[in-house]
Amino acid sequence: MSKTFFTVGPSQLYPTLPQHIQEALDKQIGTISHRGKQFQSIYKHATDGLRTLLSIPEDFEILFLSSATEIWERIIENCVEQHSFHCVNGSFSKRFYEFSVELGKTAVQAKAEFGSGFYAADLQIPSQTEIICLTQNETSSGVKMPVSEINKVKSKHSEALIFVDAVSSIPYPQFDFSVIDSVFFSVQKCFGLPAGLGVWILNKRVIAKAEAMLAKGIKTGTYHTIPSLLSKAKDFQTPETPNVWNIFLLGKVVEDFNKKGIEVIRKETDTKAKMLYDFLGKSSVFTYGVTDAALRSDTTIVANTSVPSGEVIKKLEAEGLVPGSGYSSYKEKQIRIANFPAISIQDTESLIQALQKHYA
């Protein structure tokens, strides 16, 4: 039986993927040269599609790296001489912060308990901060930072560069690109693709910072410094042999998203989130993982469960539905349900019905 995965990464593949994979095989995409014209048009198709989908302004660059984890490291290496600031409220935001520490920078963190988050007004950001790192959707706990709060951070700290990890929420959030300097994601979350490709969107201020650091003689890396990436990106190429296969598939799925329309995707996301949260609100077995309703994620629905998550998952998996477990030490105490574009309203309805049947 083919199962529907409600796991938050890797996640359910987008339904059109089989036909795109067949096309990739037919076109021998796994074998073409990454220095040839065919690859350049694949690269351009994917980035043009993303620009349309996310309304990315012309003066922002779109770069392909191996994963969001790599992008964390490149951000710190390329853009921090000494001082970074991080909002930490779960495992992913914590890891981003730790990268800065491990790379020898002075990293300052604002900490929030697991399951809670941040309002701009509460942040004490030191004046010498060069970059502010925000996690729009903390996938481990299901807490979001509303875009309206991200925008307020900028108005208080206009000099610092703002980097937004939106790995498990893009394309849902509607970012104001005049306010953020960079945002990034991996394709195995909301784009419903196999893992192994990270997408980094950044503006001229970020590029200027990386160039200024190099000019000062600071070592910022090798093949994936920002100038090295850009020197190839201008010709729709990458410094290394990239994940051509996944860039092709991303271009195809983005085309599907654009045909459907971003407004429809966002509306369906809202509908499914409401269905799931309404169910949690009435359940006697499950409760909200995030107390503050304003900070509950749109794309990663987290619930506390009084029945160990392993049992819940086993019961549902027998019916072809696979919710995610809690993260790390919350593994058995919580379940996480992906609300990504690959999951239909009908899929979400089926999951809720199964949960209701077993755990009224």
Ligand X SMILES: *Cc1c(COP(=O)(O)O)cnc(C)c1O
Of 92 and 340, nearer to ligand X (C-beta) is: 92
Beta strand 321-325 with 334-338 is antiparallel
φ/ψ (deg, to 5) at 138: -80, 100
Yes or no: say if 310 and 270 are a contact pair by the CB < 8 Å rule. no
- Give yes or no for residue 220 binding ligand X (CB under 6 A): no
Among 78, 100, 109, 168, binds ligand X (CB under 6 A): 168
The C-alpha atoms of residue 340 and residue 332 are separated, in whole angstroms, by 23
Angle at 200 between CA 70 and CA 115, to 5 degrees: 70
* Binding segment (CB under 6 A) for ligand X, from list 16-24, 134-142, 149-157, 306-314: 134-142
Shortest CB 73 distance to ligand X, Å:
10
Shortest CB 297 distance to ligand X, Å:
10
Among 4, 135, 309, 339, binds ligand X (CB under 6 A): 135
- Give yes or no for residue 186 binding ligand X (CB under 6 A): yes
Closest CA to 74 of 58, 96, 57: 96
Beta strand 286-288 with 300-305 is antiparallel
Closest CA to 352 of 264, 283, 267, 266: 283
- Give yes or no for residue 139 binding ligand X (CB under 6 A): yes
The C-alpha atoms of residue 168 and residue 182 are separated, in whole angstroms, by 15
Beta strand 4-6 with 321-325 is parallel
Of 19 and 329, nearer to ligand X (C-beta) is: 329
What DSSP line would sit under 154-207, residue for residue? HHH-SSSEEEEE-TTTTTSS---TTT-SEEEEETTSTT---S--EEEEE-HHHH
Angle at 66 between CA 64 and CA 68, to 5 degrees: 90
Judged by CB under 6 A, the chain residues 36 through 55 that form the site for ligand X are: none
Structure tokens at 233: 């990106």
Structure tokens at 145: 């930072």
Judged by CB under 6 A, the chain residues 327 through 356 that form the site for ligand X are: none
Among 4, 5, 6, 9, binds ligand X (CB under 6 A): 9
Shortest CB 135 distance to ligand X, Å:
5
Convert residues 66-105 into a mask of x (bound to ligand X by CB under 6 A) and - (unbound): -xxx----------------------x-------------
- Number of shown-chain residues binding ligand X (CB under 6 A): 13
Shortest CB 337 distance to ligand X, Å:
14
Of 135 and 283, nearer to ligand X (C-beta) is: 135
Shortest CB 33 distance to ligand X, Å:
26
- Give yes or no for residue 243 binding ligand X (CB under 6 A): no
* Binding segment (CB under 6 A) for ligand X, from list 62-70, 144-152, 245-253, 302-310: 62-70
**Binding residues for ligand X, per CB under 6 A?**
9, 67-69, 92, 135, 137, 139, 165, 167-168, 186, 195
